[in-house]
Structure 1
Amino acid sequence: MATELPRPEYQRNMRLIGHSDQGGRPDGVQLMVHRGYAYIGHMVSQGFSIVDVRDAKKPKSAGYVAAPPGTWNVHLQAHDDLLLVINARDLFADARFADEKVYYTKAVGDTLGDISQQAWSAGLRIFDISQPDAPREISFLPLNGVGIHRIWYVGGRWAYVSALLEGFSDYIFLTIDLADPRKPQVAGRWWLDGMNLAAGEKPDWPAGKRYALHHAIIAGDTAYGSWRDGGLTLLDIKDRSQPTLISHRNWSPPFGGGTHTALPLPERDLLVVLDEAVLDNQQDGEKLIWLFDIREPSNPVSIATFPPPQEADYVAKGAHFGPHNLHENRPGSFVSSTLIFATYQNAGVRAYDISNPYRPVETGALVPAAPAKMMDTRPDRPQVIQSCDVFVDAQGIIYSTDYNGGLSIIEYLG
């Protein structure tokens, strides 16, 4: 007997075709779909899960890999036979971050204080996934500090991470040399002025702002970095050991910050930049998805914003309303410079046509049902969908995670 799918709250030009509770661990952050398997990092359950999605309408739990004690694996990247998984302090298990404002409005290093006595694993775990449902750890790159937040890796010699190292206020940019994946090494580092506390630098940004690299996406020899309240950087990484600044833009203030993802569309000289909504009921202001013209990399210019969802009062719905992440056009997945997919947290998954870069148009949406149960253990979290990550496979099937609601598998009909 077929299990009935959860009924979406809203859908337009999209339909739900599959759903998984990820083996009883329905909390998900980043996901990769690779060779018919979804790899899903957890926010609460630590570790990561594997779901067989070769039949997208009948996903099956295919395994779980635990994290070391005190550690989370919220983000991961898969390419060829390698799976790269972040190791960092499980911050949301720390009572000091029970109020999420603490995480988003001050440097993580300030909140944690002395991190020299680590009761967690910090660094990069690398797995062989030549057998997709049986990851085998082949190496670990240890780092002193809180650990890694997110990775960009699409094969080849180089990976790129955001990491909070001892002596820094928050996460900075690192290049990782994987010439031998069994012996990964840090090659280069870059940070915003004021972040290197050990070198005597002093933060010069306003109180209540968090300057920290969320992650960078790489195209050619340029790294497009998103620095939360620190805005956007373009870095020249021709020499992977010595990144240099091309340009830095920050629109916070007057806008609310939270810059999360910068997706280059090189063949069109465009850059999609998403600011993450990080507080409930838009307490951090309206967050937007921006389109930049980057014909002149030293002077990125914002030329448009994407239209926000209008069909319901999502601010009043509760929890976070606003953008969270983009489908990142990874090699081997769905790649387009005109059709952009984003998650909008309590407003679900959205698709946009940017054929006219000055007038992005929403072409589809699906808001999944509220989660059946709450995995998020922080106090007073509302039982509301918070669509987190989105991945679109080469066939155009959309996969989206939620902090509590499991994996939604969606067909785009636009």
Structure 2
Amino acid sequence: MTSATSATSAGTEPDFASNISFLGHTDQGGRADGVQVMVHRGHAYVGHMFSNGVTVLDVRDPRAPKPVAFLPAPPGTWSIHLQTADDLLLVINAANLFAAQSFADESAYYGRSVGAAAARSGGHSAGMRVYDISEPAEPREIAFMPVEGVGLHRLWYVGGRWAYASALLDGFTDYILLTIDMSDPARPQPVGRWWLPGMHTAGGEEPGWDTERWRYGLHHAVVAGDTAYGCWRDGGLTLLDVSDRAAPALIAHRNWAPPFGGGTHSALPLPDRELLVVADEGIADNCADGLKHTWIFDIRQPDNPVSIATLPTPDETDYVAKGSHFGPHNLHENRPGSFVSSDLVFATYQNAGVRVFDIGDAFRPRQTGAWVPPPPQRMYDVRPGRPQVVQSCDVFVDPEGVMYMTDYNAGLYILQYDGE
């Protein structure tokens, strides 16, 4: 079913919609470049790609979201990813690589190991900031955990003692896994590390892959129970035993690049069904890196994950020709307190907006919803020559099926999944 969804403000009439309704939109106080979004106690927390900070929005009325605070990052510092749990907000700090001349060409960021070039960026904060958000509209910084190197990229924290981060530390070719003890939120402490063999050049290791062709680096890991499901870009997928947080241990490693184009980005474990959903990010304009897929793995035997299906690729128009990036990006991660389902998968597809898939039959997944924003009205992406095309980035779904979708240039869309 295709429908024209009503919009209440300019620039919000969708290019395509199916079983998803528009509720609200905001340019986030003039900072419309959004990356990761979390919703906690009626407030959305959005990390920015180019505005260097975090915007807090009151979304208790999803039809009238309003910015209420901005947390600026230190100069030269990204705060693109964040997590909320236990009335805490965890925010990454790292060098803003997209602002660096050495990464002005996207292929320099996505297409090779970034450790050596990123280490020369300088003038930034590296680590993790912790805020008390018991007053949701008034975050109060209570801790900063520094690291030596470029900094952190993405976090996983759902409350309790342990957090997990991807970290680019001195002496490594790219981002690795870092476990963090949050037992005292005012004094978070790094505890354990794990990396793919060959990444620790300061320890005498040598990469076994072409570092000018493939980028082996952890985007992030999602943890369920004592297993961390890590996505390593061109390095593929790992399942790690983290029962000893100080010494993660490999259970299985799978990599399908080549023959496929790499970019493994996001994992969604579904433990009750012994399934794992894994998205490969499209990282080049017009799919110059090949068409990417979202895979379904059978993980009944954790040391032998087997791919059994892929999610349907959006095809109601020619998204490859549309320009900029097309293909999977982020998955809604079934966080405690959010919408949790082992049958419905919510995913952003960059220039193809947001998608909903029914995987009740894991061998025959099907699309049940879609919403594609219109082109951005202005560009917040500071990199030269970027196409003025929507790039839907992240999606968070609340227990009522309200969807919060960010974009690099088009602000925050708030949508309602209507089902079939």
What is the CA-CA distance between 1:395 and the residue it aligns to? 1.0
Range with greater deviation from structure 2 (250-259 or 3-12): 3-12
Contact 2:119-2:149 at 8 Å conserved across structures: no
Q: 1:137-176 counterparts in 2 under 5 A?
A: 137-176=141-180
Counterpart of 1:190, as a letter, is W
2:292 is aligned with 1:287: yes
Q: Which residue of structure 1 lines up, in the alignment, with residue 251 of structure 2?
A: 246
Contact 2:153-2:166 at 8 Å conserved across structures: yes
Count of aligned positions = 411
Q: Which residue of structure 1 lines up, in the alignment, with residue 335 of structure 2?
A: 330
Q: Which residue of structure 1 lines up, in the alignment, with residue 193 of structure 2?
A: 189
Contact 2:11-2:374 at 8 Å conserved across structures: no
Q: Which residue of structure 2 lines up, in the alignment, with residue 392 of structure 1?
A: 397
Contact 1:5-1:19 at 8 Å conserved across structures: no
Counterpart of 2:362, as a letter, is P
Residue among 354, 371, 374 paired with 2:376: 371
Contact 1:326-1:390 at 8 Å conserved across structures: yes
2:78 is aligned with 1:72: yes
Q: Which residue of structure 1 lines up, in the alignment, with residue 125 of structure 2?
A: 121
Counterpart of 1:400, as a letter, is M
Instruction: Please give the alpha-carbon distance, in whole angstroms, between the structure 1 residues aligned to 2:319 and 2:279.
Output: 18
Q: 1:208-223 counterparts in 2 under 5 A?
A: 208-223=213-228
Judged with a 3 Å threshold, the aligned counterparts in structure 2 of structure 1 residues 127 and 209 are, in CA distance, closer, same or farther, namely: same
* TM-score, structure 1 as length reference: 0.98
What is the CA-CA distance between 1:6 and the residue it aligns to? 1.5
Instruction: Please give the alpha-carbon distance, in whole angstroms, between the structure 2 residues aligned to 1:368 and 1:168.
Output: 39
* TM-score, structure 2 as length reference: 0.97
1:128-151 deviation line (CA, Å, top 9, x unaligned): 000001100000000000000000
2:282 is aligned with 1:277: yes
Q: Secondary structure, in 3 states, of the residue corresponding to 1:26? A: coil
Counterpart of 1:30, as a letter, is Q
What is the CA-CA distance between 1:106 and the residue it aligns to? 1.1
Q: Which residue of structure 2 lines up, in the alignment, with residue 58 of structure 1?
A: 64
1:365-412 deviation line (CA, Å, top 9, x unaligned): 000111111000111101100000000011110110000000011111
Q: Which residue of structure 1 lines up, in the alignment, with residue 325 of structure 2?
A: 320
Instruction: Please give the alpha-carbon distance, in whole angstroms, between the structure 2 residues aligned to 1:106 and 1:352.
Output: 32
Q: Which residue of structure 1 lines up, in the alignment, with residue 118 of structure 2?
A: 112
Contact 2:86-2:160 at 8 Å conserved across structures: no
Contact 2:11-2:376 at 8 Å conserved across structures: no
Q: Which residue of structure 2 lines up, in the alignment, with residue 179 of structure 1?
A: 183
Instruction: Please give the alpha-carbon distance, in whole angstroms, between the structure 2 residues aligned to 1:370 and 1:50.
Output: 24
Q: Which residue of structure 2 lines up, in the alignment, with residue 23 of structure 1?
A: 29
1:105-163 deviation line (CA, Å, top 9, x unaligned): 11111323556xx4110000000000001100000000000000000000000000000
Could you tell me which runs of 5 or more consecutive residues in structure 2 were left unpaired when the two chains were aligned. 1-7
Instruction: Please give the alpha-carbon distance, in whole angstroms, between the structure 1 residues aligned to 2:86 and 2:194.
Output: 28
Q: Secondary structure, in 3 states, of the residue corresponding to 1:322? A: coil
1:205-250 deviation line (CA, Å, top 9, x unaligned): 1341000000000000000000000000000011000000000000
Counterpart of 1:124, as a letter, is M
Q: Which residue of structure 1 lines up, in the alignment, with residue 350 of structure 2?
A: 345
Instruction: Please give the alpha-carbon distance, in whole angstroms, between the structure 2 residues aligned to 1:37 and 1:372.
Output: 25
Q: Secondary structure, in 3 states, of the residue corresponding to 1:321? A: coil
